[in-house]
């Protein structure tokens, strides 16, 4: 019986099996490039309901949202619907996350408008063509990143960063709905300024809009608590449309989506630009690619951690490149992932990219036949659904768990959240990554070390600092340094070794360096070891090493350290080093040491 977590992990990784034949190899290559094909092998029938409901609800949400993002990017509203079609189809085949929803989103839309506006100079046709060209360049940059295997950069995004990032994004999502649920056209940007504007304009708040939003949100929270398997957001959409229709709320000032324009995108090559313009677009595209990839990986990993599966960072680069190239050739604009749409799909039980294909089909049907269906959907209900999805992203128990585990992890999550809120997503993530690297470097520069000895009634050798009554072997210092040796900690190692020798009650005749945690060494640390050996010899102390890995021993041999210490002073275990020390003591005294 395959467990749920195991199946979901298999879906997330996109790995597959093949045969030793040429056909098998070709199939494995195809599956590696298109992991979405492999997901169908492990698809379970019980996931179908959640994927269908998620696809329908996400479609109802993304249609007005993507039209708004198109306006934000400076192109026609219908281009927002065009820009959702290639990403949903391509990511379902190429992406490594079974839950991520890709397509237009606010950050890349704003960056697109800022880059193209000065170049287009009010020419709508040129503007649309430049937006497509920018998407194409972003896609090509992502392809280069995937070819260069730069996905490893995502490994710098630790669990605290994921938790803090999602909390920050959730707050931004909630702040972005203030205008929708209050009936106000907000002028301010940012959470604090919007809240202050809401307080200042409290007398302009539209009562029916607020009541409708509160009703939808309360309904969603109650149905989640009482009937967690029910399709709450989809029911909320239907009830909200019914309320508008029966109570004529659109005639009482409640904003609705309104008419949706018709039309499908067609294949078109972007217009040619000058080398100088292309250079400018390239620089902008690098920034958009960085923001988009950070958003993709952070969101995908956050949901992967919640769902018990893994994603492939390099595959995400490839997928992001493909969806942007697709948009560049189909009259779209640069896109990334959507945390809100992913959260809505997750809240309804999405388990595979089938939900994206369902949403793709719904958008096609709406564009071709059913545009009036969503015309009465109130924007206040849309805002309430987003707030409901955002609340599910703020993982308070995880913050508490990190606080109990280690304060530095908890602080890193808080800094990430604050960075996303107070600056912007890219700066916030960059700040958190920088702090994470600083924390990692600090642990490398000042790692844990130990003097090993015997503990009464406990087998083996242990850190004498951890046990009361622990004693070292007289004349022998067993010292362990728990990090690779490099330029950053060479001086710290030297100082702590001499400090450990000085702290011993009995004169030290031998020092054995336990190298089990020293996996490699650089030239700075090599010089330090050579100097230390000379210094110890002058003090009448024999230097030896134990548990040296083969790779490290080869490095020490090439650097002359092994010859200086003596190849007979390298021991496979600490026990054999102790026996050698005791034997030398026996020879020196002519009897039992």
The pTM is what? Answer: 0.71
State mean pLDDT over 120-125: 80
Q: How confident is the model at residue 5 (pLDDT cuts 50, 70, 90)?
A: very low
Pair of tokens at residue 577:
């080093």
402-447: pLDDT as tens digits: 999 988 889 888 988 888 888 766 677 677 778 778 877 888 888 9
Sign of dihedral through CA atoms 51, 347, 345, 249?
positive
Q: Among candidates 218, 220, 206, 217, which has minimal Cα distance to 256?
A: 206
How much is the pLDDT for 426? 61
For 99-118, the DSSP string reads S--EE--HHHHHHHHHHHHH
Average confidence (pLDDT) over 381-393: 83
pLDDT of res. 590: 47
| Residue keyed to tokens 């290639």 | 86
Write the DSSP assignment of 319-336 as a string of letters: HHHHHHHHHHHTT----E
pLDDT at res. 253: 87
**Angle formed at CA 554 by CA 548 and CA 557, multiple of 5 degrees:** 100
Tell me which of 373 and 331 has the higher pLDDT. Answer: 331
Q: Can you list the pairs that 568-573 forms with residues at least 24 positions away whose Cβ atoms lie under 8 Å?
A: 569/542, 569/543, 569/544, 569/545, 570/544, 570/545, 570/546, 571/512, 571/544, 571/545, 571/546, 571/547, 572/546, 572/547, 573/546, 573/547
Angstrom distances, CA of residue 15 to CA of 143, 491, 574: 20, 45, 42
At the topology level, CATH places domain 447-589 in Transcription Regulator spoIIAA (3.30.750)
For position 399, what pLDDT does the model report?
A: 94
Q: In angstroms, rounded to a whole number, what is the distance separating the alpha carbons of residues 208 and 401?
A: 41
- For residues 171 and 164, what is the distance between their CA atoms, to the nearest angstrom? 11
Q: State residue 142's pLDDT score.
A: 94
Residue 67's pLDDT band (cuts 50, 70, 90):
confident
Separation CA 492–CA 295 (nearest Å) = 39
Q: Which helix (H) or strand (E) holds 74?
A: none
pLDDT of residue 488: 92
Helices and strands of the chain, counted as H and E runs:
26, 8
Q: What's the rounded Cα separation, in Å, for the pair 307 and 288? A: 28
**Tens of pLDDT along 335-355?**
999 888 898 888 888 989 999
Task: Please tell me the predicted confidence (pLDDT) of residue 149.
Answer: 86
- Where, residue-wise, is CATH 3.30.750.24 in the chain? 447-589
Between residues 251 and 509, which one has the greater pLDDT? 509
Residue-level pLDDT at 23 = 52
Residue 387, φ and ψ in degrees, nearest 5: -60, -45
């Amino acid at each position: 019986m395959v467990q749920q977590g195991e199946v979901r992990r298999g879906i997330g990784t996109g790995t597959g099996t093949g045969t030793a034949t040429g056909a098998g190899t070709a199939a494995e290559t195809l599956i590696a490039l298109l992991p979405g094909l492999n997901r169908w092998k492990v698809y379970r029938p019980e996931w179908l309901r959640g994927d269908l409901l998620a696809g329908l609800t996400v479609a109802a949400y993304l249609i007005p949202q993507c039209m708004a993002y198109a306006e934000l990017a400076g192109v026609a509203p219908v281009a927002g619907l065009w820009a959702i079609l290639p990403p949903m189809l391509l990511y379902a085949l190429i992406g490594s996350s079974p839950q991520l929803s890709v397509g237009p989103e606010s950050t890349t839309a704003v960056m697109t408008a800022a880059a193209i506006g000065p170049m287009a100079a009010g020419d709508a046709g040129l503007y649309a063509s430049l937006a497509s060209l920018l998407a194409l360049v972003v896609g090509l940059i992502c392809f280069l990143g995937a070819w260069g295997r730069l996905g490893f950069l995502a490994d710098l995004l630790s669990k605290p960063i994921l938790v803090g990032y999602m909390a920050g994004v959730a707050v931004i999502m909630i702040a972005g709905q203030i205008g929708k649920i209050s009936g106000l056209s907000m002028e301010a940007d940012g959470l604090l300024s919007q809240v202050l504007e809401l307080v200042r304009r409290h007398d302009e708040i539209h009562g029916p809009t607020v009541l409708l939003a509160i009703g939808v949100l309360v309904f969603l929270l109650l149905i989640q608590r009482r009937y967690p398997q029910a399709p709450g957001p989809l029911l909320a959409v239907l009830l909200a449309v019914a309320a508008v229709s029966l109570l004529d709320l659109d005639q009482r000032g409640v904003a609705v989506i309104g008419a949706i324009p018709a039309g499908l995108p067609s294949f078109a090559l972007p217009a040619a630009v000058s080398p100088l313009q292309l250079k400018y677009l390239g620089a902008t595209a690098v920034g958009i690619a960085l923001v988009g990839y950070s958003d993709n990986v952070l969101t995908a990993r956050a949901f992967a951690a919640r769902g018990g599966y893994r994603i492939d960072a390099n595959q995400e680069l490839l997928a992001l490149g493909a969806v942007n190239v697709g948009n560049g050739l189909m009259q779209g604009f640069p896109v990334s992932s959507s945390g809100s749409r992913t959260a809505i799909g997750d809240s309804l039980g999405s388990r595979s990219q089938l939900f994206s294909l369902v949403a793709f089909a719904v958008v096609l049907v709406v564009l071709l036949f059913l545009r009036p269906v969503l015309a009465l959907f109130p924007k206040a209900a849309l805002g309430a659904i987003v707030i409901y999805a955002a609340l599910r992203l703020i993982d308070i128990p995880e913050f508490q768990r990190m606080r109990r585990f280690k304060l530095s992890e908890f602080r890193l999550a808080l800094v990430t959240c604050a960075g996303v809120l107070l600056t912007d997503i890219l700066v916030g993530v960059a700040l958190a990554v920088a702090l994470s690297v600083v924390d990692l470097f600090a642990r490398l520069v000042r790692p844990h070390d130990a003097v090993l000895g015997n503990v009464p009634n406990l087998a083996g050798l242990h850190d004498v600092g951890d046990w009361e009554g622990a004693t070292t072997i007289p004349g022998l210092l067993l010292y362990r340094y728990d990090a690779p040796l490099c330029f950053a900690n060479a001086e710290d190692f030297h100082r702590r070794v001499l400090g450990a020798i000085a702290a011993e009650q009995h004169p030290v005749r031998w020092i054995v360096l336990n190298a089990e945690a020293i996996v490699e060494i650089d030239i700075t640390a090599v010089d330090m070891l050579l100097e230390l050996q000379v210094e110890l010899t002058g003090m009448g102390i024999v230097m030896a090493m134990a548990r040296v890995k083969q790779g490290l021993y080869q490095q020490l041999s090439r650097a002359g350290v092994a010859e200086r210490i003596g190849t007979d002073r390298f021991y496979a275990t600490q026990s054999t080093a102790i026996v050698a020390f005791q034997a030398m003591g026996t020879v020196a005294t002519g009897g039992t040491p």
